Amino acid sequence: MARRKIIAGNWKMNMTPSEAVALCDTLKDLVKNDEVDVVYCVPAIDIVPVAQAVKGSNVHVGAENFYIEDKGAYTGEISAPMLKDAGVEFVIIGHSERREYFKEDDCFLNKKVKKAFEAGITPILCCGESLEQREMDVTMDWIRLQIKSDLAGVTADQVKSMVIAYEPIWAIGTGKTATSDQAQEVCKGIRDLIAEMYDADTAEAVRIQYGGSMNAGNAAELLSKPDIDGGLIGGASLKPDFGKIVNYNK
Ligand code: PGA
């Protein structure tokens, strides 16, 4: 069974609530494509207005972060059940920016993955190597360690339903995209690892995205690769060009 492509925008810390609604309106007709899943992962404060703005369309709402407890004295934090109640279906976990700036380690990320499933939200789990690691030829070793740690105790059925995003850190926001062969090689490596950790069915079902300077010009080529099932898109998700990425097959 062919895996359905999933194109997700990662808005990062961009868009005020009113800008967010305006962007949803701009993109509304441009992101129509029955053959792919479309997700907007938006800042927490934009979730409610975006959920309202995309109601009745093909767009799913995603979040960029949450805290691992359900509720309580954690000033400033937002929980997974809160996201769920607001209409969130997907959440980014383990983005390199959160790993780097907010010191989220794999032990913590493993808790987040489990908590997302507990709340009924699909994780988009990110992994990826730095330029130094690529040059040292330890890319796959590093990514295997990330995935193995982040998925410890996660069941095969859960993995089948989730999304993994391969995002080489050197390609994020730099305009420097991995070649489609480089991206395919690592995405296949991740699928092989899932087969090793679980079984062939699980590896066949899990959707693996590429992320890192994906744009309207390079999306079709990247998405033509057998193990690349979608994209996680930062910069280009804030522009009308996002519609061209979603419609890469048209
Ligand atoms: P970019 O970001 O498309 O701007 O490189 C991708 C990401 O960080 O998810």
User: What pLDDT, in 10s, does the model give residues 53-67?
Assistant: 999 999 999 999 999
pLDDT for the residue numbered 157: 98
**pLDDT at residue 1 tops 80:** no
Q: How far apart are CA 159 and CA 43, in angstroms?
A: 25
Name the residue of 170, 214, 222 to mutate for ligand 1: max ligand atoms within 8 A of Cβ. Answer: 214
- Give the tokens for residue 126: 């990110």
pLDDT band at 226 (very low <50, low <70, confident <90, very high): very high
Whole-number mean pLDDT of the chain? Answer: 97
Phi/psi class of residue 102: alpha, beta or left (left: φ > 0; alpha: ψ in -120 to 50)?
alpha
Which listed residue (64, 97, 129, 167) is catalytic? 167
Residue 159 phi/psi, 5-degree rounding, is -60, -40
Residue 214 contacts residue 233 (beta carbons within 8 Å) = yes
Asked if residue 167 is part of any domain, the answer here is yes
Asked if residue 173 is part of any domain, the answer here is yes
Asked if residue 30 is part of any domain, the answer here is no
Those residues with Cβ within 8 angstroms of residue 163's Cβ, 6 or more apart along the chain or in another chain: 6, 8, 90, 122, 123, 124, 125, 206, 207, 208, 209, 230
Strands 207-211, 230-233: pairing kind: parallel
231 secondary structure, DSSP code: E
Average of per-residue pLDDT across 122-139: 97
Average of per-residue pLDDT across 100-128: 98
Asked if residue 32 is part of any domain, the answer here is no
Q: How far apart are CA 12 and CA 233, in angstroms?
A: 10
Q: How far apart are CA 206 and CA 202, in angstroms?
A: 6
pLDDT for the residue numbered 211: 97
Buried b (16+ CB within 10 A) or exposed e, 15-39: bebeebbebbeebeebbebeebbbb
Which listed residue (95, 97, 104, 129) is catalytic? 95
Task: Decide: 10 in ligand 1 pocket, CB within 6 A.
Answer: yes
**pLDDT at residue 175 tops 90:** no
pLDDT band at 176 (very low <50, low <70, confident <90, very high): confident
Asked if residue 160 is part of any domain, the answer here is yes
237 secondary structure, DSSP code: G
- Which residue's alpha carbon is nearest to atom 6 within ligand 1? 234
Residue 172 contacts residue 96 (beta carbons within 8 Å) = yes
Q: How far apart are CA 242 and CA 8, in angstroms?
A: 9
Asked if residue 156 is part of any domain, the answer here is yes
pLDDT for the residue numbered 136: 97
Task: Decide: 213 in ligand 1 pocket, CB within 6 A.
Answer: yes
User: What pLDDT, in 10s, does the model give residues 10-47?
Assistant: 999 999 999 999 999 999 999 999 999 999 999 999 99
> What would the DSSP string read from start to end of 151-179?
TTT--HHHHHH-EEEE--GGGTTTS-PPP
Asked if residue 210 is part of any domain, the answer here is yes
Q: Mark whether 95 is an active-site residue.
A: yes
Q: Mark whether 60 is an active-site residue.
A: no
Q: Structural domain tally of the chain?
A: 1
pLDDT for the residue numbered 102: 98
Question: Range of 222's domain?
Answer: 5-25+37-246
Q: What is the Å distance from ligand 1's center to 54 Cα?
A: 22
Q: Which among 92, 69, 73 has a CA at the least distance from the CA of 81?
A: 69
Task: Decide: 212 in ligand 1 pocket, CB within 6 A.
Answer: yes
How far is residue 114 from each of residues 67, 80, 137, measured CA to CA in Å?
Answer: 12, 11, 31
Asked if residue 128 is part of any domain, the answer here is yes
How far is residue 111 from each of residues 21, 58, 162, measured CA to CA in Å?
Answer: 32, 30, 15
The ligand 1 atom nearest the CA atom of 171: 5
Q: What is the Å distance from ligand 1's center to 80 Cα?
A: 23
Q: Identify the CATH number of the domain in which residue 144 sits.
A: 3.20.20.70
